[in-house]
Structure 1
Amino acid sequence: MAGAALGVTPTLFGAETKPTEHKFNLKYAPHLGMFKTSAGEDPIDQLNFMADQGFTAFEDNGMKGRTIDLQKQMANTMEKRGISMGVFVAHKIYWKEPNLASGDENLREEFLSQIKESVEVAKRVNAKWMTVVPGHVDLRQNMGYQTAHVVESLKRASDILEPHGLVMVLEPLNFRNHPGLFLSESPQAFEICKAVDSPSCKILFDIYHQQIQEGNLIPNIEACWDEIAYFQIGDNPGRNEPTTGEINYKNVFKSIHEKGFKGILGMEHGNSIKGTRGEQAVIDAYKASDTFL
């Protein structure tokens, strides 16, 4: 009792006991920086901290831009700690001008070249999924033509990815944070995936973005379920951890779990509170929202 009061780890026959890792029902994936106050700046230390908290997945939008040596180190750590690699961004995203929607062959070839590069990154870090955002609308073309251009580009990208068993996940983004983008709603993403008709072209359903864009979350998830391969998380307003906004994440997670989802749910959000207290609040929020069984 005295040792516990002093913060000393209890021992049994002289051996230190290690705290049991929390067991989550779903594969929630933190990102670098989310726990840097607690774990330090080193990416390897952060991955180990995530594993110590019971997280079994990780995502890194910027993985493609990291050095090959760091990519390998991170992959080795994830393998040792039982962490699955989630998405990374596969290509340059055109936020303010059209690329895939334009039908420009040079821009299409640029995109396909970057997809080929991403295949090598995925192999290096044991990733299956990569994020694709088709870019800005082309205001000079009818939406039907734009959709045909995007579908053609994605078909050709699927031809690159399929032999490797890799999947690009299309992410619709909301009009408020990203005005003018071609892809904004889940039914639109569903339509495109059906047109591409490839196991390598699926939907990244970002719950934060779709709460703003269309709401009606659980019915929309159910409606495009067979094309969803990946989820991302963020509460609204604020784009912070669950329990800080209006989304009933316990019910959303319950619905996803009941449908048998075995993939990854990326924690693509900020921390509502700074410092170690805020980092613990994120962990506690996921523990609370995960208690749906």
Structure 2
Amino acid sequence: MPKFAANLSMMYQEVDFLDRFAAAAADGFDAAEFLFPYGYVKDEIKSRLTDAGLGLVLFNCPPGDWNAGERGMASVPGREEEFKRSIDSALDYAQVLGNQRLHVMAGLLAPGQDRARHREVYVRNLSYAAAQAAAHGITILIEPINTRDMPGYFLNYQGEAHEICEEVGAKNLQVQFDMYHCQIMEGDVATKLRRNIARIGHMQIAGVPGRHEPDTGELHYPYLFQQIDQLKYDGWIGCEYRPKNGTSEGLGWLRSWIGKKH
């Protein structure tokens, strides 16, 4: 059956970030993911993971100035040296925290900017990131993100993400398949899942369109979970959604799915 990881940036906001590890474990999660660890001491996060008995699946490389609206640097011309430093920082954290996947955010493309130029920079930076990460046994992930939640984001479609991975040609560069983003941008989620499974390195879920629990909205996740089982995907599925009325209270979907498998 699929393995689910709690996304601690979106879930358990009822408590402080460092207390979310124990809260997730208490609800039966065995692993976690989150956006950024850089505002916290590495050893403190590691201690919380260990105390809760959680594995860490992934986090994002530094995205630039998040509070100022930046959403990554990988495709942004002129930021190459800063991008390299961001990879160093992420690998430094990963070596302590134990995760084997890092998500590299592409960045924004403003109206009128040269998309071809951004793509060239993106491919070159991803080649660098993959080479650096390979030395540590870490996989780099890229994720198509919908333009409604993140207007101007450089990478929006599954097909382009897989084309870029093929162009870079690194075995440890894979796609982070977020079914929420995919449904909003292009739909046909199950077909894309089956077609691209060989290069999908991580999955994420949320209800569409509200980004709440996956048992709400238009996507029928029980069917998709069955497809994932049939494809023999053995990675984690990140629960990257905003609980509608309390995190623990909204986990009936998870308890129901686990119950069906036993």
Q: Aligned to 1:130, what secondary structure does the other structure show?
A: strand
CA spacing shift, 1:98–1:64, aligned 2, 3 Å: closer
Q: Determine whether 1:287 maps to 2:255.
A: yes
Matched residue, 1:88? 59
Shift in Å, 1:262: 1.3
Q: Aligned to 1:239, what secondary structure does the other structure show?
A: coil
Shift in Å, 1:160: 0.7
Q: Determine whether 1:28 maps to 2:4.
A: yes
Structure 1 residue runs of 4+, over 6 Å off? none
Matched residue, 1:194? 166
Amino acid of the residue matched to residue 119 of structure 1?
L
Shift in Å, 1:41: 3.7
1:154-193 to 2 correspondences below 5 Å: 154-193=126-165
Q: Determine whether 1:117 maps to 2:85.
A: no
By relative contact order (CA 8 Å, sep 6+), the higher-ranking structure is 2
1:236 to 205, 208, 214: 208
For structure 2, which runs of at least 5 residues remain unmatched after alignment?
Answer: none
1:248 to 220, 223, 227: 220
Q: Aligned to 1:101, what secondary structure does the other structure show?
A: coil
CA spacing shift, 1:42–1:100, aligned 2, 3 Å: closer
Q: Aligned to 1:87, what secondary structure does the other structure show?
A: strand
Matched residue, 1:219? 191
Q: Aligned to 1:244, what secondary structure does the other structure show?
A: coil
Amino acid of the residue matched to residue 168 of structure 2?
V
Shift in Å, 1:114: 0.7
Contact 2:72 2:105 survives alignment (8 Å):
no
Shift in Å, 1:185: 0.8
The TM-score normalised by the length of structure 2 is 0.88
The TM-score normalised by the length of structure 1 is 0.80
Amino acid of the residue matched to residue 129 of structure 2?
A
Matched residue, 1:13? none
> Which structure has the bigger radius of gyration?
1
Shift in Å, 1:260: 1.1
Contact 1:207 1:233 survives alignment (8 Å):
yes
For residues 215-273 of structure 1, the C-alpha deviation after alignment (integer angstroms, 9 at most, x for no partner) is 10010112221111001111112101111111101111111121111111111111111
Q: Give the count of matched residue pairs.
A: 257
Contact 1:74 1:125 survives alignment (8 Å):
no
1:267 to 230, 239, 257: 239
Matched residue, 1:48? 22
Q: Determine whether 1:108 maps to 2:80.
A: yes
Shift in Å, 1:127: 0.8
Amino acid of the residue matched to residue 121 of structure 1?
Y
